Structure 1
Amino acid sequence: MALVERDDGNLVFTRATSDQIKKHFENNAQAWAGPLAQRDYLHIHHDMLKTEANEKGSAVWVLHPPNEPLNIVSSCTTLSRPAAVNTGKGSRTVTAVIVTHIFTRPEFRGKGIATVLLTKVQNVLDSRSDVKVEFSVIYSDFQCGLYERLGWQPYRATQLRILLAKTKVERPPNTEGLDSIELNDMPFASDRDVDMTKTRLTGKRDGNTHARLLATIPVVRLCIWRSKMYEHYFCKQEMAPREYGVKYVSPGTSTGAWAWWVHDFWARKLHLCRLVALRNKGMEDSVARVLEVAAAEASRCGLREVVLWEPTQQVIEGADKLADKLGEGVRITVEDRDSNIPCLRWHGGEGREVIWEEREYYGIM
């Protein structure tokens, strides 16, 4: 516990107790619960901290006046995540931290309170004795100024949207090369993805620092678990999800593409958390086959669009092929996002230029 000196008195900075965690999420619910009842929002977020991805290395940090532990002025959550970096000596697995659920009560905004909180959190992350936090990440709204001043550098945030409108997209049948990824298949797919990611990162020999979050199986399970929790509140039974991923291998080859996704029934979007093409070029047809299944699942569930963050040129061209096949009524757009802008801070606030690879949707969890 540490006292933070301020002109208007002292504030206590501390890791939250269970009662303070509840108050932290109650405060967040004011801004982010949307149509969810507060009790349902609290239930989801309390249980998220108990998942395999979060049970170790997660914490809530709070600022409060002395002797008023539940009068929380500002607070945030930190979540440890597996990552990989290449600083010029090959790929190595490291720990990263997501800083999220940042909330300052409205009457205390504009007074430097969030700066105090996040500066203290930085000190905690930089001085951890159990593990070195190689970098930390905040996903910001369109106003990144505070985070940038504190050393979290914003990155361009793009997204590809497949706008379905009222177009009915039929799910193509599973044939040679095309097959669903069942939930039981996710561990194998995730392990293969992580291994391939590390191999690709090792191959970066340009002298730059490269970093990325890893879609390990605990992270995959967390994303799908969260989606299913929200599905419980917002999804009609007849529109319940049937599949969460698909793989396509081009006949006669060992190359192809695969993807997994989550359903957002609140915003009526299907988010591709991860799309993997086994080659960097020449995979447009395979990508189109994968996107077609995603579009069909979105259509069947009554979702209006399919969204993929940080699309490559190959993915964009694959989406264009799909739009040509589906015809009028389906539009493809590639645009900058105005929310969930990724911001990265290196250990110790080092002003290092970092190439942040494949900033896809799973990272926000």
Structure 2
Amino acid sequence: MRKDVIEAQIVLGKGNVKRELGDFIRRNAWKKIFLVAGKSFSGLAIGKEFAELEQELSLTVERFSAFSVNPEFSEAVAGSKVFRSFSPDVIFAVGGGSAMDTAKAIKLFSSLEEEELLLKPWKDNGIPLLAIPTTAGTGSECTPFSVLYKGGEKLSIEDESIYPLIRVEDARSLEFLPLYQKKVTLLDALSHAMESIWSRASEGDNLYYGKEAIDGILRHADAYLENDPRSWNPISDAATLAGKAIAITKTTGGHALSYKLGSLFSLPHGLATAIVNKELYPLLTENEERVHDPEKLVYLAHCFGVKTAQEGAKRYKAFLEKVDVLPKEKSFYEERLREKSPDVQSLEEAVEILAKSVNLERLQNHPMSLSEEELKQIYRRILMLEG
């Protein structure tokens, strides 16, 4: 995605969020709002202020909350039917990646017949999308991507028409984000920044966005995890910058290998990407002769405050250990598999399923080609079947 499109996004919330949002609604004469938000929205500061605006501006609001943590294709289709029936002036997406992905898909699907939903090129329905992130990690408020699941398999959607036209910055919601969610979404943002830098498509603006994102995360992570209010805006900004970086380059192996891992073991997306990148980063530094542009690994190391690619991988590992959220024992995966995927009999069988699930075409953006046998070795290390 081009930088000029990314930077054309209208940003609200630098001052008084309620006043700026209310003024923007008035100027655009919006009266019917389709709101995609989770069940916790009403208890947040932005939720309470939106309820006040609803009364003060005599707005008609249709709220859609029927989506999963990993949104299903069928949920977005159902939402698009409600959207079409309601015929709104604007769509508001409020929440983390789940709400954003669902809202984007609803916007895209609402102008299509059911048999056309997955056919390209898609048509823009012309309804503006306004994003209000309440977590700091996915960066979905700054990307043209939506990820859904259909039959247990990842379904990727990309179209400039679902890039949010307006973004509202409101870091107040981070105060109430549980510590575990703070950790896994922070790791998601870090994965975006890292993968953008080492991507085969990495060149120019994404390097700046990625570097600034990593710098913000490293500087403010400790305070953020201690819920220091002074960290909320810098961490939110870092997540947005990481989203901009990945919007330019798209994701790499860290994401391609994480989707089935996340669904099979029911892991949060940010945690799954960190688990994968913990293995991929040192693998890249140990095989620099196979890496598309080894200098990008040196650049990434500099972002981590060290000189060599190998030191960069060690610094990333140390950061993961400090955040302290990755599984430490093989028994974690064994228990999770029995609970979440009882049809899979063993971790060895899981390795076979995981390796075959990776779309090799999607790995083309990764800086180093990976064979199916290498994928199996990576998954065996992840599941602690070998050192």
Q: When you count strand as a share of all residues, which structure comes out higher?
A: 1
Query: Which category of TM-score, normalised to the shorter sequence, fits these structures?
Result: under 0.3
Q: When you count helix as a share of all residues, which structure comes out higher?
A: 2
Structure with greater contact order relative to length (CA < 8 Å, sep ≥ 6): 1
* TM-score of the superposed pair, with normalisation by structure 2: 0.26
* TM-score of the superposed pair, with normalisation by structure 1: 0.27
